[in-house]
Structure 1
Amino acid sequence: MKTTLSPRIMLVAGGMLSAAVLSSHAFGQTETPAASSGKKVSSSLEEVLVTARRRRESLQETPIAVTALSGAELQERGIINIGELTKSIPSVEITESVSNLIYIRGIGQRSAFARVDPTVGVYLDNIFLPRADGHLLDTVDVENIQVLRGPQGTLFGKNTTGGAMVLTLEKPKDEREGYIFGSLGNYGRHQVRGAYNTPITDTLFARAAFNYLKDDGFFEDDSQNETNTSKGRMSFLGQLRWEASSSVLVDTLLYVGKIDERLPGSYCTPINNENAVLDRGLYLMWPGDTDASNPTAYKENCASNSRERLGDLKSNMGPNNLMDRKLDTYLLAATVDWELSDTLSMKIIGGARDETKGPLISSDQDGGPANFNESYNTGDGERSSYSLELQLNGTMFDGAVTYTGGLFGMRETNTEIFTLINSLNGLDAASLAAIAAGNRPSQPLTPLGTSPVVGILVDPILHSAFDLENETLAAFLQTSWNATEQLELTFGIRWTEETRRSDLVVRGTDREAVGQRLFTSGLGFGPAVQGFNPFFGTWLQDPVGLAMSLFPDADGDGLHDFPEAAEPLRTDSKDRVFEKITPMASLSYQFESLPDNVDSLMVYGTWSSGFKSGFFEPKGVDGLAQVEPEEVENREVGFKLEAFDRSMRFNMAFYDMDFDNQQLIQVDTDTNNNLVVIYQNAGSSRIKGAELELQWMPSPGMMINLSASNNDYSFSDFGDNDLLQAALSNPTFIDRSDETFPVSPETTFAFGIQYAMDTDIGLFTPRLDYSYKSDVYYGLDDGAHTIYEENPDNAGQAAYSVVDLRLTWQNANGDTTIAGYVKNALDKRYDIGIAAVADSTATFFQTYGDPRRFGIELRKLF
């Protein structure tokens, strides 16, 4: 169901609110003394400084759609991980399932494959974090977080099409101070974090911070004797700041992070699609099927892991030792800031990162306890990157011109070992003959069918060893000219060169050895013919189950032990240089003559562009297929207003973005009929939207936050292959241009209110947060969208709301804080992924967001 809120309606609403501000009588506010403690409760908003244009400037003077949250605001709202920003920042969708997903304005990355660059850049103290696995950082010792919406194609280290998240840490200083934070919550959650700052000499300062988080999880799986969706995280931050001279400042950072936790638990909902390749599309028989005219084992496997059958927060995903997510990260960075003169400064930013990702299931396509069709990263993924950036920041003509220019370079290496597993399959002899002729088989007339045959339709084991080497070079320049005291013109340009080198080795199953084992088993199988063994019995004997019993998981690695072919099925090496120039221009105007109640008003217009590198995608036995670069052009207008003695801040943006070659995940087949989930390009798409943010203190101590977004997503050109016909070697084009964008809701709304009450025993601050998201589509293929239009619950999430409550107490000295919280207070169940796949597996694999969580926190300053 589509929402009726539109950018035009938001424009009218924003205009009415702005007009009300401009026409209302002025009212002033002053700080009000507390009744007893002598403390003062602020009645005006603090100025927010951002670095969205790589220089410190006021949020209200920056012609960019950016949200900034200070460390204090993160504490007030109880945000402990950047994933929670999805509740309150417009047009931002963040979920954590098998992969970390960050979307801004409908654009994001739906997998954590190392070969795919993120569409949203995440930066920790100006160091770009290239892989999605490490993006959902805990907010440990953070000074502020900035979220930039829209393409970042000029200034930031990596050219991105969706936006950027910039985390800035608290810096060492000339004081001895620190804090300790502890929390306890339900589901066995406990966390300890802290920081300590100390001067070492008059010019050298040190700061150390740590974080430990343990959570038992909430999704019970009796088949694994485990509770999934658990958390186990430790991290350490060490910083040194050296004031080398009055003009040279050197900052160094060491970050160590370790993750050891269970993946989110999941349900499976069967999708009724008669054309599904692995269901009734080809009338395949699976282990447990005994009726050729009505194969049900695949659908039953999914249903055995459904909420309807198991109840709330319970799953049946089967024994699997690859549900443990392990990630070790080491990051070393240094920044040198040198003031060369009163009008010119230079900054050098260098970083080195090493990361190891442990073996992990990447996709459970069948959705149930059986290993019918699944994907794994079966070995450690080794990743390393090195980056260096040179920035020059300066002014000319008595400050009328401000410029930022520089160079950026990064080298990255990644290895991935990817394994696709499938069950052996059975076919009625008549069905096999139809498929061999390129025709869709008809339903067998009787449960016994004709003659059973069992064997390899797709490789039971397909190993892909993938090595990548990426190099990025870029040069950028952005200049702002204050044509008058009110009018600013900004022009920017960036040249980006991305070099991609990929090596792939694909190893498959020894089909002859499989057929020979079936023939010599004594279970009634005849000799193999073209990969299939006739079974001299009936379907009532479950011949596919008998065949699979000959290949048990003897070594306990979660994979059936099929013999591997001696020679690789395919080796492939490719390299390509992708090059792009991305310009931008903006115009902003600061009004000078304003009503008494308006403190500042800026309007701006921006034209910008962004680029995301192409890459090579492993397509099963077909080797490496090239995915073209993704490009975006953004046209945006907006305004930023402060009023009522800076007690109100109201910002809006309206944008129209055109995408070319949008990189989307789809389901396809290789020439051996192996199902592959791969990235491909959609020809073109368009996004039109509006966003607003309001921060208001109507009275001393009271704070109201409001945000909303509405996006109209549409594909202009999106073609695909009919999967069933592809499996029959009959390529057939289908038009998917009328589909809904995946993962991102069209409408979001958030409202928060808190009130600080000073009493004889301290400062009490109750807070309520409400967030709303409209329908979300999670489908991957054409059939899933058809199902979604019939019933969104079968391939997506209907609109939902979440309410959070918080009560904070702070003592009179301000050094002790105790808070109690309830997140998802109404215990709402809502999906956060993973995917609905109708044309192949006919399953909707679903992961829930957190249920009701409650706990208590203590923070002590010293």
Structure 2
Amino acid sequence: GVGVYVDGVYVARSVGSILDLVDFERIEVLRGPQGTLFGRNTIGGAISITTKAPGSETAGKFSATYGTDDQVAIKGMVNGALTDTLFARASAAYFGRDGYVKRTDGIDLGNSNRLVGRLALRFEPSSSTTFDLAFDGTHARENGAPVTALGFAYGFTRAAPPFADINNVLANVMAGGAMVPCTLDGTPNPGVPGCVDDRYIVGRGKNLGTAPSYSDSDVWGVSLISTFELGGSITLKSITAYRSLDSEFARDGDGTPVRIAQYVDIYRQKQFSQELQLLGESFDGRLNWILGAYYFREWGNNENLLDFTVSRFRSGGEFKNKSLAFFGQGTFEIADGLDLTAGLRYTRDNKEFTPDQEIFENYVAFLPPFDAPFFAPGTPILPNVTARRKFSEVTPMVNLAYRPTPDLMVYGNFSRGFKSGGFTQRVFPPIVYPFTTDEPDPVKQIPSFNPEKVDAYEAGVKFTTGPLQVNIAGFYNDYKDLQIQVFTSVAPVFRNAASATIKGFEAELKLSPGNGWFAEFAVGLTDASYDDIDEATTFVSADNAFERISKWTLSAGLQKEVMFGDGSTLTPRVDWAYRSRFYNDTFNTPQIAQGGYHLVDTNVTWRDADEKWSVTAAVKNVFDKHFLLSGVYGDAFQVYEGVWNRGREASLTVGYAF
């Protein structure tokens, strides 16, 4: 539930966030619900990226990097005035790199091959009016994720009756060619080997898959930000944007030469958004306020093709979503150093989903229960009707901040956030009344879920004393109607099946003692627990740890700037980070869990006296630690799979600016 924004434009789909911005002013990572100003699906926070605006100065910068696995990164930017009132800024980059997981057919998974470009124009017809037009695009043609097989489950499945029988067939059928008798009690037939064995577990740098593997995407967008100073400290701002995403991904989901799970996902999405903001000051500048309205529309289709042990089918369909919101927020100076900020947002979402899903082949039609008529080729998996859901929510926020001195601030904050509801688009087996559902209404047969909500509380202190800067914050988040996977069928669907509490604290220290020295340290504690959960359908215990949340995170950095007689500088830096144990799924599957690990990075940068030329040598993961970036157990396929990190990386970068 973390929203991504580029120059105020919401990037709706995570695939659309692959844009590699190479020329940004700042990146803000905002923790907790940001629903008042940022709006949609920011229940966990927001990442706000602000790019550098064109200016009148003639300037440019270029850099070239070469590193481990033939890493090549070439970046460039130029800025200048076209006329007295029109300015331009153009940037482009290429990222290339070999993959680090090798398949037997020669494909290297985890490679990079991307082109990125951005053109921004600023038109200032008067001192009170500004138009910012920007176009960006990314073209990627890569070999797919560096997935490796970690192990096999040999009969362990999750599914509620009556789908347990179907899952048990998947767990016990032999996928090597000849079909063998299967039991329906979750235990493999002891007279024959499983469909795979540990000969296919070949280590983190290899993948024995044979299915197509690629990751192709084309992303582009255009935005127009119009700013009008109306006088009297009032400003009108309009943000208009359109974005397009066209992607296709294929992978061998098991990393073996056996046909267990082979995927092709085709995703196409368009979005249009319009936001109006009215900003101003009142009460002699004691009140700063903003009022706004927001409209968002997206449409597209998601096609998921799966060829696996028992069947070949297509899931997915067409989606159309609309959102309308109105918001306001103001900060009032109650007294000298005491500020109260309050905001409110109303959001209404309309969502539509039309399934386009069908069984193409049934490889085990002779085995019960796959001999049932609803497994026949040509059977729709979900009814071909349009399902519609409407959601609305009011999300307030209140913040009280007190600054007794310019170097000290204490604050308390409350905010409410929500993550919109929707539909589960990937379903198996077919939903057919009265065989696999008791629901006779075709529209209600399409699985959907309601919004997830959170009330978030935070209190903290920020102060500076001499060369030391300290930030300390504690937080408490109360989640209701958590959207989690339930196994009422073979393929999981999302339901609102839990409530939870996430609490903890974060502390940051920065020290600048002088003489070129700088040090920083950070520590975080996160305690996440379920208050209530439907264990019967989720197969998740209330005692389970949250997915991908470490209890402890720590980091530290140290650098020293050395100045030479000619004015050039040399700045070595070393960084250390620690993350405690975490699980890669909600079930806390031990085979894909990741233990705690330490990382050390180092770099040294030389700059000339004019700061035009620079050279940086860097080593990431100095001690070559290996850990899982992600892990999945698809119990219907009986495979534990994961993505390891690349290991130690070294690079050399040369840059020039003018």
AA paired with 1:297? G
CA RMSD of aligned residues (A): 2.4
Q: Report the equivalent of 1:802.
A: 599
1:280 shift after superposition: 9.0
Q: Report the equivalent of 1:639.
A: 461
* Distance across 2 between alignment mates of 1:280 and 1:569: 22
* Distance across 2 between alignment mates of 1:297 and 1:355: 41
1:779 shift after superposition: 2.6
Does 1 or 2 have the higher relative contact order (CA < 8 Å, sep 6+)? Answer: 1
**1:533-566 CA-partner distances (Å, limit 9, x unpaired):** 9xxxxxxxxxxxxxxxxxxxxxxxxxxxx99427
Which of 544, 551, 573 aligns to 1:767? It is 573
Same amino acid, percent of matched pairs: 27
Instruction: Please say if residues 487 and 539 of structure 2, whose CA atoms lie closer than 8 Å, have aligned partners that are also in contact.
Output: no
1:842 shift after superposition: 4.2
Task: From the two aligned structures, give the one with the greater helix fraction.
Answer: 1
* Distance across 2 between alignment mates of 1:795 and 1:566: 35
The alpha-carbon distance between structure 1 residues 391 and 528, as it changes in their structure 2 partners (threshold 3 A), is closer
Aligned length: 624
SS of residue in 1 equivalent to 2:195: helix
Are 1:505 and 2:356 counterparts? yes
SS of residue in 2 equivalent to 1:829: coil
Which of 596, 605, 613 aligns to 2:412? It is 605
The alpha-carbon distance between structure 1 residues 639 and 611, as it changes in their structure 2 partners (threshold 3 A), is same
Q: Report the equivalent of 1:334.
A: 224
Are 1:653 and 2:473 counterparts? yes
Which of 811, 815, 818 aligns to 2:612? It is 815
* Distance across 2 between alignment mates of 1:589 and 1:209: 42
Are 1:210 and 2:92 counterparts? yes
Q: Report the equivalent of 1:296.
A: 193
TM-score between both structures, scaled by the size of structure 2: 0.90
Q: Report the equivalent of 1:697.
A: 512
Are 1:573 and 2:386 counterparts? yes
The alpha-carbon distance between structure 1 residues 367 and 668, as it changes in their structure 2 partners (threshold 3 A), is farther
Q: Report the equivalent of 1:776.
A: 582
Which of 830, 849, 852 aligns to 2:645? It is 849
Q: Report the equivalent of 1:628.
A: 450
1:748 shift after superposition: 0.9
Which of 69, 83, 89 aligns to 1:201? It is 83
Instruction: Please say if residues 780 and 836 of structure 1, whose CA atoms lie closer than 8 Å, have aligned partners that are also in contact.
Output: no
The alpha-carbon distance between structure 1 residues 574 and 653, as it changes in their structure 2 partners (threshold 3 A), is same
Query: Where do 1:163-174 residues align within 5 Å?
Result: 163-174=45-56
The alpha-carbon distance between structure 1 residues 412 and 185, as it changes in their structure 2 partners (threshold 3 A), is same
AA paired with 2:48? V
**1:473-529 CA-partner distances (Å, limit 9, x unpaired):** 100011111000111111111000011011002211465x986xxxxxxxxxxx898
* Distance across 1 between alignment mates of 2:403 and 2:367: 79
* Distance across 1 between alignment mates of 2:7 and 2:170: 52
Instruction: Please say if residues 288 and 297 of structure 1, whose CA atoms lie closer than 8 Å, have aligned partners that are also in contact.
Output: no
TM-score between both structures, scaled by the size of structure 1: 0.69
Q: Report the equivalent of 1:185.
A: 67
Q: Report the equivalent of 1:484.
A: 335
1:750 shift after superposition: 1.1
**1:809-828 CA-partner distances (Å, limit 9, x unpaired):** 00111110001011111111
AA paired with 1:809? W
Which of 475, 490, 495 aligns to 1:680? It is 495
The alpha-carbon distance between structure 1 residues 568 and 186, as it changes in their structure 2 partners (threshold 3 A), is closer
AA paired with 1:252? L
Q: Report the equivalent of 2:558.
A: 753
* Distance across 2 between alignment mates of 1:689 and 1:235: 38
The alpha-carbon distance between structure 1 residues 346 and 299, as it changes in their structure 2 partners (threshold 3 A), is same
Q: Report the equivalent of 1:406.
A: 292
1:760 shift after superposition: 3.2
Greater shift in the superposed pair: 194-203 or 694-703: 694-703
* Distance across 2 between alignment mates of 1:563 and 1:182: 56
The alpha-carbon distance between structure 1 residues 271 and 745, as it changes in their structure 2 partners (threshold 3 A), is farther
The alpha-carbon distance between structure 1 residues 179 and 758, as it changes in their structure 2 partners (threshold 3 A), is same
1:605 shift after superposition: 0.4
Q: Report the equivalent of 2:440.
A: none
The alpha-carbon distance between structure 1 residues 736 and 813, as it changes in their structure 2 partners (threshold 3 A), is same
SS of residue in 1 equivalent to 2:99: coil
Q: Report the equivalent of 1:717.
A: 532
* Distance across 2 between alignment mates of 1:735 and 1:312: 28
Which of 629, 633, 644 aligns to 1:836? It is 633
* Distance across 2 between alignment mates of 1:233 and 1:245: 39
1:319 shift after superposition: 1.3
AA paired with 2:448? Q
* Distance across 1 between alignment mates of 2:368 and 2:192: 23
* Distance across 2 between alignment mates of 1:735 and 1:320: 32
Instruction: Please say if residues 485 and 493 of structure 2, whose CA atoms lie closer than 8 Å, have aligned partners that are also in contact.
Output: yes
1:355 shift after superposition: 1.2
1:569 shift after superposition: 6.3
Are 1:825 and 2:622 counterparts? yes
* Distance across 1 between alignment mates of 2:534 and 2:468: 47
* Distance across 1 between alignment mates of 2:622 and 2:65: 18
Q: Report the equivalent of 2:301.
A: 415
The alpha-carbon distance between structure 1 residues 504 and 481, as it changes in their structure 2 partners (threshold 3 A), is same
Q: Report the equivalent of 2:175.
A: 286
* Distance across 2 between alignment mates of 1:159 and 1:684: 18
* Distance across 2 between alignment mates of 1:263 and 1:350: 33
Task: From the two aligned structures, give the one with the greater strand fraction.
Answer: 2
The alpha-carbon distance between structure 1 residues 682 and 304, as it changes in their structure 2 partners (threshold 3 A), is farther
Q: Report the equivalent of 1:740.
A: 545
1:375 shift after superposition: 3.8
1:373 shift after superposition: 3.2
Are 1:142 and 2:30 counterparts? no
1:808 shift after superposition: 0.4
The alpha-carbon distance between structure 1 residues 652 and 305, as it changes in their structure 2 partners (threshold 3 A), is farther
The alpha-carbon distance between structure 1 residues 235 and 357, as it changes in their structure 2 partners (threshold 3 A), is same
The alpha-carbon distance between structure 1 residues 565 and 813, as it changes in their structure 2 partners (threshold 3 A), is same
* Distance across 1 between alignment mates of 2:43 and 2:408: 28
AA paired with 2:195? Y
* Distance across 1 between alignment mates of 2:596 and 2:381: 48
Instruction: Please say if residues 196 and 209 of structure 1, whose CA atoms lie closer than 8 Å, have aligned partners that are also in contact.
Output: yes
The alpha-carbon distance between structure 1 residues 395 and 423, as it changes in their structure 2 partners (threshold 3 A), is same
1:331 shift after superposition: 0.4
Q: Report the equivalent of 1:539.
A: none
Q: Report the equivalent of 1:109.
A: none
Instruction: Please say if residues 193 and 212 of structure 1, whose CA atoms lie closer than 8 Å, have aligned partners that are also in contact.
Output: yes
**1:61-82 CA-partner distances (Å, limit 9, x unpaired):** xxxxxxxxxxxxxxxxxxxxxx
Instruction: Please say if residues 188 and 217 of structure 1, whose CA atoms lie closer than 8 Å, have aligned partners that are also in contact.
Output: no
The alpha-carbon distance between structure 1 residues 327 and 313, as it changes in their structure 2 partners (threshold 3 A), is same
1:282 shift after superposition: 6.4
SS of residue in 1 equivalent to 2:84: coil
Unaligned 5+ segments in structure 2 are 159-166, 182-188, 432-444
Instruction: Please say if residues 208 and 239 of structure 1, whose CA atoms lie closer than 8 Å, have aligned partners that are also in contact.
Output: yes
- Whichever of the two has the greater Rg, that structure is 1
The alpha-carbon distance between structure 1 residues 395 and 528, as it changes in their structure 2 partners (threshold 3 A), is closer
